[in-house]
Amino acid sequence: MRKCLRCATEMVEDLDVKVEGGVYGLKVTQQGIFKDNLGKFKCAVCPECGYSEIYVTELSKVKKLALNNKKK
């Protein structure tokens, strides 16, 4: 359960993030051409004040990337 950072109301979670007019959502990738997809964005919205936040639900690839960056 996510709570709104502004008013502490329980947020509506797991909403899709899509480009207006497009059927595809946004995805997270490393910089560069032909890099691996690291996950899809999801959104949470506060029904009280409208504050919203974007997050990634699948963190395994991001954690692996962070670990590899620490080793460098």
Domain annotation covers residue 3: no
pLDDT for 25: 75
Look at residue 1 and tell me if it is in a domain: no
Tell me, yes or no, whether 6 lies in a domain: no
Total tally of structural domains belonging to the chain: 1
CB 20 within 8 A of CB 35: no
- Residue 40 domain flag: yes
The string of pLDDT tens digits covering residues 6-44 is 999 999 999 988 887 776 777 778 777 767 788 888 999
In a domain, 7, yes or no: no
1, pLDDT greater than 80: yes
β partners of residue 40: 27
pLDDT-based confidence at residue 4 (cuts at 50, 70, 90): very high
* Parent domain of 34: 12-71
The verdict on residue 42 lying in a domain is yes
- pLDDT at residue 55 greater than cutoff 90: yes
Tell whether 4 is covered by a domain.
no
DSSP classification of residue 23: S
Percentage helix, strand, coil for the chain under 3-state DSSP, each rounded to 5 = 15, 35, 45
The answer to whether residue 2 sits within a structural domain is: no
